[in-house]
Structure 1
């Protein structure tokens, strides 16, 4: 079996860094990489020791999207080509649904499917080399509706129209100006992303999970269909040991020690 090109490291307690390690393709993902990336986020999402996740790419680039060469070879099998497309969407969904803060650390290109992947993260931190874009209009394609919805959430409808219609690649400063990048950094983007999320890693995991599920539902217009699930998450937090620990810590004038229970 070939070694996975999705690497998971733990640079400090409670924090995981997921790296797409396909620098020969600017970290464009083939079927195996999309599959392993999905599995990595599902595993980390269920891991109670993980409080913060940073997603990045090796070799100076975040992700160039789907591996067009590999996908072109698979297109002759119509059924498998659809399985491939579905796997990409399932990977995006796994990243977005991960009940932990997820921060994209972006250097170099983050285009097409790579841009989509970054948008599924909660936040995006980029260095000066970051280049962001969705050049579907130069390829004669239409961006999937759910991805365009995410883009419009982040940068607003007018900016989303401009990005899509122009099919441009935008530098770090412009991407930050319109709100795609939450922060610009000097130096290493992964280290900056870990600093960006440091305070989040110290908060109550059940609170983060519930709030993230609520925000995802609100933005997707899915509050009512998910009402029972969301209400259950509120009740679970109300009844949690973490809530009782927060009350004790407040009374004792100390920092709470959250366990996610």
Structure 2
């Protein structure tokens, strides 16, 4: 055996003897190592659980916020839908009411048109008038629409015609518009008739009832110096001195139920 082998053998013997002499020290070291590993593993598990908890809380909060946002959007859409529905209902209701009103107005106008187009009359009649002289008043008459027209046979001044119409519970004619004027000019014979239009003391042309008329008259622009009155012929409306003698045309309105 050489020197190296002797040295190695001595070292092994020394180590073996040292280990056999300190067995408790080795076990203590291993125990501490295992405890350290367990503590590290526990800490790692704890951190992992905390991370998972935070992650779950974040997901829950996100889910809740997303749910609330969807709920809010749905409410907004529902309110908008309800508003549109209400607007649409109100518009339909207004349109329905307007249609009903229009239909009623149309029926009323049709009724008036039927009344206007329905004309009747007689060529000659003796009017029941309360004249002071006791003289009978003869007239040709017809009714059309809401008016009856009486064409007096005798000639009188404008004031005389006004009085005669009043005595017969009538009124001197007031022509409402150009359509009525054209209609009358087609009906009358070639004579001149006083109508209820005169140049009064207030120095203006005025109808006998002081009411407005849609008739377009150039005569309304005249400014005579003396009192003048208007008469109707088959071709025109013109003015003349109120003392001149013309036939009279009176009217009576028919009440519509």
Superposition TM-score, scaled by structure 1 size: 0.24
Q: Which has the larger radius of gyration?
A: 2
Tell me which protein shows more strand as a share of its residues.
2
Superposition TM-score, scaled by structure 2 size: 0.25
